[in-house]
Amino acid sequence: MRIPAFPITFGLVASLCLTIGTPVWAQALQQQHQLALENDANLKASLHRHQSIEELAKIADAAFRPVLSGGASQTFNMDTGAGNDSYDASLALNLRLDAFYAADSTTASIQQSALSFKASQQNLLAQVISNYFAVVKQQAQIDSIDAQVRSAKQSLANIQKQNQLGLATQLQASNVENNVQQLHLSLLQAQQGLQQARNNLTASTGEPVHNNLPGISLVTDLPAIDNLELSHWWDITQKNNLNLLAATAGVQKSYHDYQQTDSQKYPTGRISANHYSYKNDDISLRISGNFYDGGLNKAQTQQARLNWMASQQSLTASQRSTKQQLDSMLYNLRNNNQQIELQESLLETANTSLAATQKEYELGVTDLVSVLEAEQQVATNKVNLINARYDQLVYQSNLMQLAGSLDNTDLLVLDGMLE
């Protein structure tokens, strides 16, 4: 729904600069996300942890490869001074049932780590979007208050002249002066909020934000999500939510850990081919195992089984929590859609009221204070509407993250909306 423009006199400009001034494209959404990818310490830590876990594949694979070893020695007879050199070499392969389960556990562990790292990347993207729009919301608030301050100061000067001429009371002049002071206080609070929002964005990107960032306008077309049914989105989320997929892989890992621990009660084997410089070569096969270990393997197996059961329950808890978050997010989207429609209606009403108040002032029916109040009501409704529109974009991004589909394509769409 397009918002009709009404002329606003007495110094308060019509647009109130809600498009956040001159765009600084070097700090637009894509650039901010790229800075975050390059500088976010938590993401780098996640990457190193994932690279570390990937090394487990080589460790697990080594259990299936033969080991080549050797040694050499030299001895001297202290009485005769004669020396004796000897050497040996061995090619051996360990035969362990638990190595197969360890390989399965490693595969699941790497899968879990890869999904967790991808979830960290997706979370960073959602965080940048949220922090970015928090900044531009504060910018919109400041631009609106600045415009209101200029208008109020002009109204104050006019009413003070009218008071000197006996056309306005001292009370009316005092009310306008108090309004100017209240606006200055609101401006200071908004500036404080802007600084905090910039700091939050800088925490991820590592780059301070000094200039205004480009934002959307009151008439920017927002992406629409037609289906907001929980069942629809829960089906998608179960299949694609990265945290749930990582938790599922974690359950598989715990199960294979249990299998690996349980299999350690079985005997192990070692086959080797040996070469000696001092005796004949041989091939040997050795089977070994524990007849009694004091209940160690039984306790370790029970511990691994309980860890597996715990991981299953943790997955169930994560699924319930994610479904609740999804339900809450869908409610927020539906509620915010209604808020936007209501804010648009309130803005139309405020513009109509302002036009009528200006006309009454020109006819001498009302005073300048009423006009100033009507102007500020329009400004407040514009800020409320632009904030609701920003909230809609953040809610949609969070929904995409929960559904596991938030990626750079969504970022490009959002970036294309900035002005």
d(CA 292, CA 2): 81
Q: Which two tokens stand for residue 183?
A: 């606006």
282-288 β-sheet, strand order: 67-76, 83-95, 268-276, 282-288
Q: Which of 320, 385, 406 is nearest to 120 (CA)?
A: 406
Output 7 or 346, whichever has higher pLDDT: 346
d(CA 32, CA 261): 47
At 169, the pLDDT band (50, 70, 90 cuts) reads: confident
At 365, the pLDDT band (50, 70, 90 cuts) reads: confident
d(CA 99, CA 105): 10
pLDDT at residue 21, rounded to an integer: 40
| Mean pLDDT calculated for residue range 362-381 | 89
Kindly report the average pLDDT of the chain as a whole number: 90
Q: Please identify which residue in the block is written with the tokens 């960073």.
A: 124
3-class secondary structure per residue, 44-85: HHHHHHHHHHHCHHHHHHHCCCCEEEEEEEEEECCCCCCEEE
Question: Domains plus CATH for the chain?
Answer: 25-417 (1.20.1600.10)
Residues 6+ apart with CB under 8 A from 332: 391, 395
**In 182-254, which ranges are E strands?**
none
CA distances in angstroms from 360 to 4, 198, 353, 356, 357, listed in the order given: 21, 43, 10, 6, 5
Residues 6+ apart with CB under 8 A from 26: none
Q: Which two tokens stand for residue 337?
A: 């859609």
Express each pLDDT in 53-86 by its tens digit.
Answer: 999 999 999 999 999 999 999 888 777 777 788 9
CA distances in angstroms from 324 to 115, 122, 214, 230, 317, listed in the order given: 22, 20, 34, 10, 11
pLDDT at residue 24, rounded to an integer: 43
- Assess whether pLDDT exceeds 60 at residue 392: yes
pLDDT at residue 411, rounded to an integer: 92
d(CA 356, CA 71): 102
Q: Which of 259, 285, 281 is nearest to 272 (CA)?
A: 285
Express each pLDDT in 299-358 by its tens digit.
Answer: 999 999 999 999 999 999 999 999 999 999 999 999 999 999 999 999 999 999 999 999
d(CA 297, CA 173): 88
- Assess whether pLDDT exceeds 50 at residue 25: no
Report the percent of the chain where pLDDT is more than 90: 78
For 379-398, b/e burial (b = at least 16 CB within 10 A) is bbbbbbbbbbbbbbbbbbbb
pLDDT at residue 1, rounded to an integer: 30
Work out the burial of residue 309: count CB atoms within 10 Å of its CB; fewer than 13 is exposed, 13-18 middle, 19 or more buried. Answer: middle
* Low-confidence winner among 161-175, 176-190, 211-225 (lowest mean pLDDT): 161-175
At 278, the pLDDT band (50, 70, 90 cuts) reads: confident
Output 252 or 81, whichever has higher pLDDT: 252
d(CA 363, CA 379): 24
* Low-confidence winner among 27-31, 83-87, 135-139 (lowest mean pLDDT): 27-31
